[in-house]
Amino acid sequence: MRYEKIESSVVRLLKDGKRFLLLTHKEPDGDAIGSVLALSKALEDAGKQCTVVSEEAPPAPYDALPGAERITQSLDGVGPFDAAIVLDCADQRRLGWVGNRVSSIRPWVNIDHHETNTLFGDLNLVRAQASSTAELVYGLIRKGAFPLGLETAENIFAAIQADTGSFRYENTTPRAFRIAAEMVELGVNPWEVNLKVMDVYDVPRLRLLSKTLDTLELHLGGRLAMMTLPARLLQELGAVREDSERFVDFARFVRGVEVAAFVREIGDGKYKFSLRSNNCVNVADVARRFGGGGHARAAGFECKGPLEQLKKNFVDEVSRFLNGRGC
């Protein structure tokens, strides 16, 4: 079905329904949180009831987005719902325990922009060309003529800014700029948003960055850069998982690098690989080989095993991609 047709069905459902459950992926990022907050606020301003649940509380700095305190970690005593709306989530597993608890709710509306989305919803509003999920939320709000107040506008702006790397990444489309400009016209102050949710580091984060940069390794003639973060370092420095967010970019910034990887130990012998690329390798395809997914320029996967073996398998796979693409 065409996107516009599905969009009309979702709008009808949002207009007809009264009570909605909004969900997003675990380890939520700026687009995940901005999108659930924007859509839930617009629906609430239209007289609907929304419950927003995520596996964990919004991590800093996204806990500073307006309305973040409305996100809860409990499903006790809530419902029934007219629909479960899942935002920015490529597959159901990424919901964590919340997904198992609410799978009986129907219909599921899957709103996302990951090219590896598994279309797990009853309605799948998925557009891989979109800069962000917030861009799709904006489309729904406008099409349904739902209220778009300052709080909603700030969340849409912050989400687009987060997913486009402050309007620098390849997904920075004219539409992303147009929506952002419109949000500024509605009263959003980009400088204030930046101070609140972009350039604000706690000291443990900077110390963690310093230690992580020391682990930089180059492979495949300098085309693959890798950094690793052992779990004990977080504890030692009093840092948390979110403090390593976007560290992978520093590996990508190295001149001549095509693929960058940031490997974080997540416990029980498991590791999370965060991948980025600069030009020709689709890292979502690389991640898929290891059971993960994402976007062409930003993807990830989790795996288990001795670190040296995992790294070797990964280097071999990237090598095949680089040779295959002749880059």
Max Cα distance, the chain (Å): 59
Minimal distance in Å, beta carbon 272 to Mn ion? 17
Order of strands, edge to edge, in the sheet holding 293-294?
217-219, 224-229, 259-267, 270-277, 298-304, 293-294
Give the H or E element holding residue 307: helix 307-324
| Residue 7 vs 88, nearer CB to Mn ion | 88
Nearer to Mn ion, 132 or 244 (CB): 132
Give the CA dihedral 162, 165, 171, 177, nearest 10 degrees.
70
Q: Which is nearer to Mn ion, 163 or 242 (CB)?
A: 163
CB of 249 closer than 8 Å to CB of 265: no
Rounded to a whole number of angstroms, the minimum distance from the CB of residue 324 to Mn ion is: 27
Q: Give me the least distance between CB of 237 and Mn ion, in Å please.
A: 28
Q: Which residues bind Mn ion (CB under 5 A)?
A: 31, 88, 132-133, 163
Tell me whether residue 54 or residue 133 sits nearer to Mn ion (CB atom): 133
Q: How far is the CB of 252 from Mn ion (least distance, A)?
A: 18
Cβ closest to Mn ion, residue 7 vs residue 163 = 163
Q: Cβ 184 to Mn ion, closest distance in Å?
A: 21
Look up residue 47 and give its DSSP letter: T
CB of 88 to Mn ion, least distance (A): 4
Pairing of strands 83-87, 293-294: unpaired
**Of 158, 204, 168, 143, nearest to 66 (Cα)?**
158
| Closest to Mn ion by CB, 161 or 228 | 161
Extract the tokens encoding 154. Answer: 């700030």
CB-closest chain residue to Mn ion: 31
In sequence order, which residues have a C-beta less than 8 Å from that of residue 103 and are 6 or more positions away?
92
